[in-house]
Amino acid sequence: MADLPGHFDRPVHIAVIGGTGLGKIDGYTPVAAINPETPWGLPSSPIQILEHNGVPIAFLARHGLHHQFAPHEVPARANIAALRHIGVRTIIAFSAVGSLQEEIKPQDFVVPDQVIDRTKGVRPFTFFEGGVVGHVGFADPFDGGLADIVRSCASHMDGEGVVLHPKGTIICMEGPQFSTRAESNMYRSWGGSVINMSVLPEAKLAREAEIAYQMICMSTDYDCWHSSEDVDVAMVIRNMEANGRNAKRLVGAVLDQLSKQEHSNLVLAKHWEGASSGAVKFMTKPAGRNPEAMQKVEYLFPGFWKD
């Protein structure tokens, strides 16, 4: 990465965020590595710009190049702000998850459509604070259009009996310790399908930044509710080796779809445009606005405060 240019002069509309065991995606030509300093600090890692059939794609390693950020330490605001700033309007985010359901086997993938928040308030989770208040809708935390595209690529998954489950509820726990058996059973009773430590605040911040966001969950273990071996990191990493191959196949197919002209409005997240301005502009009256907080919002949305 060191010998790549540190700038890229075209907007990059699509990003892939890689998580545990997916610190890079092979098979693409790296053309730049950029490290924008945002009002919320630096992203987890330099953002690699890769070319896919002439289309630039940003790749960001959620836990850093050396997996040095614990889930609660991931600078999610800097990550999302940096991506937004370079032009990203669509994020496909990968995550290693535990399964809460028998039919979601290790090495299966899930395209979640719902989230239950079990983080503990220790992670910064909004761009809108400190003198600028905003409340965006989050009833459906993922982007339905992106989810449909991922589902349509299911046939690209490889392996005996491996399934891409088209929907599911993801529990986002605080971690970094795994759940107790009582918690794991409680999440099952809530209807949870899979569990991780990373979807929040990432998905909330993407919504605030008017970015279309879809997570792809890669099952690495049955969480400890299951009578098989209890989850540990070795188990996660073992299954991630197989999952990495399918992640690469799936991401290639998804990027091929997203590169098509017919999906250009989806990729540009036209349907999320104005979601935040509507939520932010009218809440805090001008007399109560803090100029520093306003400037931070301006980083996300240049020209936001004009008119």
Ligand X SMILES: CSC[C@H]1O[C@H](OP(=O)(O)O)[C@H](O)[C@@H]1O
Ligand Y SMILES: Nc1ncnc2[nH]cnc12
Per the annotation, binding residues are 20, 62-63, 95-96, 197-198, 221-223
Regarding beta strands 90-99 and 194-196, do their DSSP bridges make them parallel or antiparallel, or are they unpaired? antiparallel
Q: What is the DSSP letter of 140?
A: S
Q: Is the separation of the CB atoms in 157 and 246 below 8 Å?
A: yes
Shortest approach of ligand X to residue 265 CB, angstroms? 29
- Residues at the binding site for substrate are 197, 221-223
Binding-site partner at residue 221 among ligand X, ligand Y, none, CB < 5 to 8 Å by type:
ligand Y
CA dist 38 and 80 (Å) reads: 10
Tokens of 204: 């909330």
Beta bridge partners of 58: 15, 49
Shortest Cβ 154–ligand X spacing (Å)? 20
Residue 193-212 contact track with ligand Y, rule CB under 6 A, x = bound: --xxx---------------
x/- contact string, 235-264, with ligand X (CB under 6 A)?
A: -x----------------------------
DSSP 29: E
Q: At what angle do helices 199-208 and 76-85 cross, to 10 degrees?
A: 40
Q: Does 197 bind ligand X (CB under 6 A)?
A: yes
Residue 182 binding target from ligand X, ligand Y, none, CB below 5 to 8 Å by type: none
Q: How far is it, in rounded angstroms, from Cα 144 to Cα 280? A: 24
Among this protein's residues, is 3 annotated catalytic?
Answer: no
User: Which residues does residue 165 pair with via DSSP β-bridges, in sequence order?
Assistant: 110
State the binding partner of 56 from ligand Y, ligand X, none, CB within 5 to 8 A by kind.
none
Determine if 19 is a binding residue for ligand X (CB under 6 A).
yes
Question: Helix (H, G, I), strand (E, B), or coil: what is residue 79?
Answer: helix
User: 149 or 236, CB closer to ligand X?
Assistant: 236
Angle at 145 between CA 211 and CA 199, to 5 degrees: 50
Binding residues for phosphate: 20, 62-63, 95-96, 198
Q: Annotated catalytic, 223?
A: yes
Residue 233, contacted partner among ligand X, ligand Y, none, CB below 5-8 A by kind? ligand X
Helix 291-300 vs helix 76-85: crossing angle, to nearest 10: 60
In the window 36-95, what residues touch ligand X (CB under 6 A)? 62-63, 71, 95
Task: Using DSSP bridges, classify how beta strands 109-110 and 212-222 pair: parallel, antiparallel or unpaired.
Answer: antiparallel
User: Binding of ligand Y at residue 223 (CB under 6 A)?
Assistant: yes
Q: Which of 108, 117, 143, 223 is catalytic?
A: 223
Judged by beta carbon distances under 5 to 8 A according to partner kind, the member of ligand Y, ligand X, none in contact with residue 62 is ligand X
Interacting residues toward ligand Y by CB under 6 A:
96-98, 173, 178, 195-197, 220-221, 223, 231, 236
